[in-house]
Structure 1
């Protein structure tokens, strides 16, 4: 294979991917192999949850941990407790089984030093939620002082992140090389 053919194949693969941008207060579930979920995170947390047998997965993006009492408010979608429930229920509706779910967590940065560390609170909440619900926590990347640009392939469970330093936002292009299901890639 010539270099030109390899580059052409990488472009063709990229074109076939359906990119779904997840913003604060949203979640998305898919069983389509061409879907890649994208988000940008600071102190917010994104849970990427996947069932490797049903080959379905999803991502959410929440701003605050929240508590059960918060889900009755007009803006419940900002809260982790609400979005985690919606994500898990969405996965189950797409054929996932709770005992097979595997999760990765990203975000939770401390973006403003002098304010409370809401990023850490978000991360602690998400880990506790997974433990309480009996969902396997495979890791991910939480904390620090930098934002993250995140990609998640819901069918394979593969996740990739790029740290965002200052004003620069790196452009992420998935590599043409084959991937192993369930990997977390840092670059």
Structure 2
């Protein structure tokens, strides 16, 4: 099952550009405009074909291919391996060449107290860098790990990425969203990761 939710399209008044906002489990590819997201322990990869000026971004919550076959999470863009292939395939459909792709990667913070043993951010970061290495996609920039959420703007026509580090206060939307996201997976095995709800 592939994610069915459609990213939000809006006009970014700050940068005066048409933009698409993606949430966990979403991805988008385009020839123009901006793609934006807010990251906690999730990772986003901004991929760009500098010849055709086609860009794509994903936003995944868990690394690798970790849903058991037949589960509702199988082949989901919430998992890194699918999120990478889905956005690359969309870019190729728009005319990008996989051999020319370059990448910038962001996120992987450790935000959730009580999930210390389950450092999703570190696992996501490790996964994406290994995936890009194996695929021969050069990483031009990265801002990974740490303990702060990030707001990412990817300008597709130029390949430029602007990252703003955000102060996190308890109960903020990005933390609530990630905690709820993990809770929906509660009790499911995800490869070598066991999802659990931390004590309040």
Same fold (TM over 0.5): yes
Cα displacement (A) at 1:118: 0.6
Deviation at 1:50, TM superposition (A): 0.2
CA gap of 1:83–1:166, structure 2 versus 1, over 3 A, is same
Structure 1 stretches lacking a partner, 5+ long: 1-10, 170-187
Alpha carbons of structure 1 residues 114 and 80: separation in structure 2 relative to 1, 3 Å: same
Match of 1:178 in 2: none
Of residues 91-100 and 144-153 in structure 1, the stretch that sits farther from structure 2 once superposed is 91-100
Secondary structure of the 2:46 match is strand
Comparing 105-114 with 21-30, greater Cα deviation is found at: 105-114
State how far apart, in whole Å, the 2-side matches of 1:45 and 1:80 are. Answer: 8
Partner residue in 2 for 1:41: 39
Q: Report the structure, 1 or 2, having the larger helix content.
A: 1
Following superposition, the deviation at residue 155 of structure 1 comes to: 2.0
TM-score, normalising length: structure 2: 0.72
Query: RMSD over aligned Cα, in angstroms?
Result: 2.2
Contact 2:102 2:139 (C-alpha < 8 Å) held by counterparts: yes
- Per-residue CA deviation, residues 56-92 of structure 1 (Å, 9 max, x unaligned), is 0010000001326657532222111111000111111
Structure 1 stretches of 4+ with a deviation exceeding 6 A read none
Contact (CA 8 Å) 2:153, 2:163: kept in 1 or not? Answer: yes
Q: CA deviation at 1:137?
A: 1.1
Q: Is the 8 A contact 2:151 2:164 kept in 1?
A: yes
SS in 2 for 1:137: strand
Q: Secondary structure at the match of 1:96?
A: coil
- SS of the residue corresponding to residue 126 of structure 2 reads helix
